[in-house]
Structure 1
Amino acid sequence: MWEEKLAIYDQLIDKCPRFERKGKTMPYTSANGYMFSLFNKDGEIGIRFSKDVQEKYLKKFETTLYKSYGATMKGYILIPDSMLEDLDELAVYLNESYDYVMSLEPK
C-alpha cells in the first residue's frame, strides 16, 4: 500500500518539471529553502499553501490539516485519496504550492 501511494506521489511530481522529489525515507519536495509537499509514513500526501488558500482548499476538498509523524504541519492540507485519480489536476495544485514558496523570502 505504501509503495503504491509512493509511486503515485512520484508520478505526480514527474508531471511538474520545475522540481524533483527528495528524501529516501521521508519523500518531499522543496524549493527556495522551503518544503512544499510531503509524503508521510501513513502514505498520505500533504501540500503547502498560503494561509488564505489553505482555508479555501480545506473547504473545497473537504479535507483536514496534514499530519506527519504525529505533528500537524503548519500550512499543509491533507490531499484526499479521491484527488489521486486525476494527477493532471493535482499537479496544478502542486505547481501552485511551488509558486507560493518561490514567492517567499529565500531561506
Structure 2
Amino acid sequence: MTDIAYKIVDAAEWRAAVAEGRYDGAAVDLADGYIHMSTEAQLAETARRHFSGRTNLLLLNVDLSRFGDDLVWEPSRGGDLFPHLYAPLPVATVTASRAFSVTADGEMTFEDDQ
C-alpha cells in the first residue's frame, strides 16, 4: 500500500472544511459512511467516472501514515483496493492541493499547467 492517497473535493467545500479543521465528506461520502480516496493509479478513472464536466475542484494529497484503524483498504471497481477513511479527514493530513477541472470527456486539467 501507499502512504499517499488523493481526494477530489469541491473547492468551496474544502474552504469550509479548512475553517472547521476537518472535512466530513461530500454527499456520496456521507451517504456511504466513509471518505472515498484514490491511489495515484486510480485517480484518472475516479475523475472520469465521478467528476466529468466539473470545475472548481481541488486535488488533495492526503498523508495516510497519520491514520490508524479508521483507514481501511477495501475492494471496489474490478477488485481494486481503495483507501476509505471511516472518520472525518483532518485538514492537517493534507500535504498539498492543486486546483483543477475535469473536461466533459473525463480529462483532468490542472490550472497550474495552463
Does the pair score TM above 0.5? no
Kindly indicate which of the two structures has a greater share of residues assigned to helix.
1
Greater RCO (CA < 8 Å, at least 6 residues apart)? 2
TM-score by length of 1: 0.32
